[in-house]
Amino acid sequence: MENLSDNQRIEAVAGHIEEIIKLLGEDSQRQGLLKTPMRAAKALWFLTSGYRSDPSQLIKQALFDHEGSQMIVVRDIEFYSMCEHHILPFFGKVSIGYIPDGKIVGLSKLARIVNAYARRLQVQERFTSQLAEEVRKSIGAKGVIVVCAGEHLCMKMRGVEKQHSATVTTHYNGAFADSVELRTEFYNTLKQ
């Protein structure tokens, strides 16, 4: 498997999807399903593209010197991910705050690392902590805080079928772990 090209991997996934369609009791040769295995394989390849990106390298492409030390917040970055337990989508918004220590990162790079971690089979709790720890490590920030609000189709369309449920996860480190005041300032910024 390790020596396969991306196209060979996508073709292999399509073959498995065709078999799954058959196992579910459907005719994989039906007109509407003829191209479904390849379309689904390409969609899964895209939705898991985070495995083929390096978040640290994404950030390092846009690090800039900065003398300030006040909080920087990028809020409401939308994300789309796949639950690792049911391979169903979950989606929502992430807000990231950090205290620079001589370096800042281009704002679009924060959105790109959100995509890099979201586009994997995930749980929201790990996703939230991965973002906070990556930003701190890659920027050298004095502290990072991340809040993630997500809706999970594994809870909405199967299982308990609770349509209005949402999950909020937080993770913080460094100066945010040491200071209730900083966390409060971050949460107040999100309300503005």
Instruction: Compute CA 86 distance to the chain's CA centroid, rounded to the nearest angstrom.
Output: 16
* Residue whose entry in the numeric block shows the structure tokens 């995930």: 122
Q: How confident is the model at residue 164 (pLDDT cuts 50, 70, 90)?
A: confident
Residue 146: predicted pLDDT: 98
Residue 160: predicted pLDDT: 87
Does residue 9 register a pLDDT over 80? yes
Looking at residue 50, what DSSP letter applies? Answer: G
What average pLDDT does the segment 3-8 reach?
Answer: 94
**E strand segments, 31-142:** 63-65, 72-83, 89-99, 103-105, 121-122
Residue 27: predicted pLDDT: 96
CA torsion, points 2, 49, 100, 180, in degrees to nearest 10? -110
Among the residue ranges 16-30, 43-57, 118-132, 158-172, the one predicted with the least confidence is 158-172
* Residue whose entry in the numeric block shows the structure tokens 């978040």: 55
Contact criterion met (CB below 8 Å) for 154 and 82: no
Residue 158: predicted pLDDT: 87
Residue 170's beta-bridge partner residues? 147
Residue 101: predicted pLDDT: 96
Say if pTM beats, i.e. exceeds, 0.85.
yes
The catalytic residue positions are: 83-86, 124, 152, 154
Does residue 42 register a pLDDT over 70? yes
Residue 48: predicted pLDDT: 97
What average pLDDT does the segment 158-166 reach?
Answer: 87
The model's pLDDT over 66-123, given as tens digits with 9 standing for 90+, comes to: 998 899 999 999 999 999 999 999 999 999 999 999 999 999 999 999 999 999 999 9
Tell me how crowded residue 43 is: count the other CB atoms within 10 A of its CB: 12
* Residue whose entry in the numeric block shows the structure tokens 């995509």: 115
Residue 1: predicted pLDDT: 66
Residue 162: predicted pLDDT: 85
